Amino acid sequence: KELSPADPQVTKSGQVMGTPAFMSPEQATGHHQSIGTRTDVYALGAVLYDLLVGQPPFTGSVASILGKLSHETAASPRRLVPSLHRDLETICMKALARDPQDRYETAASLADDLLRFADGRA
């Protein structure tokens, strides 16, 4: 099927795309010039957070999540799961840093830290 620009399935310029619960702040706020590999690192951090605490970093309606992504930092995983190892929390929160420059540069560097943790080298 050929899609026309008027088709609702076609992404419009400036349209926010993605699953809000796993979306980075730069995606949520439309700062498309900031989107890159560190955006993917944020999404991986959100998945890790969900695995660790049983819920995404931000919950609520789509509008609520987008607002939180724009102005808030995710709650500390240890606040929700006090028994969580501090090193694992540090890895997760680095991946979820609001500023892309404060995140892991690549998914591989995030994976390296997770492997170090799993091997007891963190």
Question: Which residues have CB under 8 Å from 108's CB, separation 6+?
Answer: none
Report pLDDT for 122: 65
Homologous superfamily of domain range 20-118:
Transferase(Phosphotransferase) domain 1 (1.10.510.10)
Report pLDDT for 67: 92
Q: Report how far apart, in Å, the C-alpha atoms of 117 and of each of 22, 58, 78 are.
A: 23, 25, 16
- Taking residues 41-57, what's their average pLDDT? 98
Q: pLDDT digits over 3-46, tens only?
A: 455 544 444 445 555 688 999 999 888 877 778 999 999 999 99
Q: Please provide the average confidence, as pLDDT, over all residues in the chain.
A: 88
Residue 115 CA to residue 98 CA, distance in Å, equals: 24
> Is 46:22 a contact under the CB 8 Å cutoff?
yes
State the burial class of residue 71 (Cβ atoms within 10 Å of its Cβ: 0-12, 13-18, 19+). exposed
